[in-house]
Amino acid sequence: MNRWRRLWPRTLVQQLSLLLLLALLASNAIAMLFLQRTGSLIHPLSRSFSLERLVIAHHAAGLGGEEPAHLLTAMNTENARFWIAPRAEVEPFELRPEERRLANELRQHLQLPPDVPIGMQLERISGANARTHVFSPAGWAPLRLRSSIALPNGQYLNALQHPAGAYEWGRVLAYSLPVTTVPVLLIVMFFIARVVRPVKTLAQATERVSRGEWIAPLPLSGPQEARDLTTAFNTMQANLARHVEGRTRMLAAISHDLNTPLTELRLQVELLEPGPERDDMLDSLGELSAMVRETLNFVRDDAVQEATRRTSLSALLDDLAKRYRRLQQPVTWLGAPPLLLDCRPLALKRALANLIDNAVKHGGDACISLKREDTGVLCVEILDHGSGLPQDWLNKVFEPFVQLGASGGGLGLGLAIARSCIQAHGGELLLENRPPAGLCAVVRLPAAP
């Protein structure tokens, strides 16, 4: 079953084209079966010629002396044989409709009374029924017409002929399949591609928007349904842009406005008498100012629309590793083959730098590796050799302002920013404990097509 699923085409154009081809082949097969069961089996010209030869042979058989035998011998050909015998070649039996029509037509030509027996048997040269269905080898065999006509002297005129079939399927299909199937298939494929093209463009645009890009409104093209879908997409993107812009402007305004009262509070606290209470208040105000500052930076970064371009993730990690080596940080990077993805390089580099900083700060070192998985996903692993995290903290630390334990330091925004950026690129960020000790940040990103 899985093998057939792999063979089944994936794109809409291919699937519709294959279904159309199967429908055309099925229509030809149904027509073949219907004509074989109900249509005339003998070609009209061959039918008339066979009956005319029987009439001539019957007239010749009515002559006296040796002449009938000589005339019948002269009429014999590769496809026909006539002879006179004391017994009928075709024994009496219930004639089929085609045979009955031939016998009645011959009787009218010869003007014979109804009591003169005429035997007609139409069959395949293999002896099979003439109307054997065409889906068996016997149905493709040539026809054979055997005839017996009673003569006034008690003998019988026998004949064996090979008339041409009305439907010699080898020739018919050799003509009908290319003439009817190929042009129809090509024309329909052209129009299917025209219909599917706006949908494909829309799918690509949706994938770009899912990575956080904002693109120009898509042009309206294709059938009305595709135009309606494109209009809905353009409207949705415009609404999303207004929503994000409004949220960003609001958060930036709040963060900016908080700086003024915080500065006033700090000035008032500094005027107090020195003491532990004053120092605690200054520390709290400093921490609050840092949180506001980091939130404002996060909002500003979120508002900047960096252009997406195709980038080598290996080269990006090389740049980061060189930076940490210059700072003499314990960061290990063994390199990797060039692996490409579509991303906003500066934003992605900041997200990966946050993960490396966390590994160095909380685990003492960072070991970076990059590989391409079988599913086509690029996987970056940043492993440290620290004490790891409790299981229930592996997801909790991605929440804003949640710190990595009491001794973690920082404001707890780094992982939240990193995960937001990676998810905006269509990827995912997970934390895993790696025995015997260490925490691993796993980043999966879609590779460039």
Record the pTM: 0.50
* Cβ neighbours, 10 Å, residue 204: 13
pLDDT at 262: 74
What DSSP string describes 392-413? GGTTGGGSTT--SSTT--S-S-
Helix (H, G, I), strand (E, B) or coil at 443: strand
User: Which residue ranges of the chain lie beneath pLDDT 70?
Assistant: 1-8, 35-39, 65, 133-135, 138-139, 166-172, 211-213, 244, 251-252, 255-256, 291, 294-306, 401-412
What phi and psi, each to the nearest 5 degrees, are found at residue 428? -145, 150
Task: Kindly report the number of other CB atoms within 10 A of residue 397's CB atom.
Answer: 20
Question: What span, in angstroms and rounded, lies between the C-alpha atoms of 416 and 390?
Answer: 18
Neighbour order of strands in the sheet with 118-124: 80-85, 156-161, 143-150, 118-124
pLDDT, position 1: 54
Note the pLDDT of residue 280.
78
pLDDT recorded at residue 358? 87
How much is the pLDDT for 408? Answer: 46
Please report the pLDDT score of residue 406 as a whole number: 46
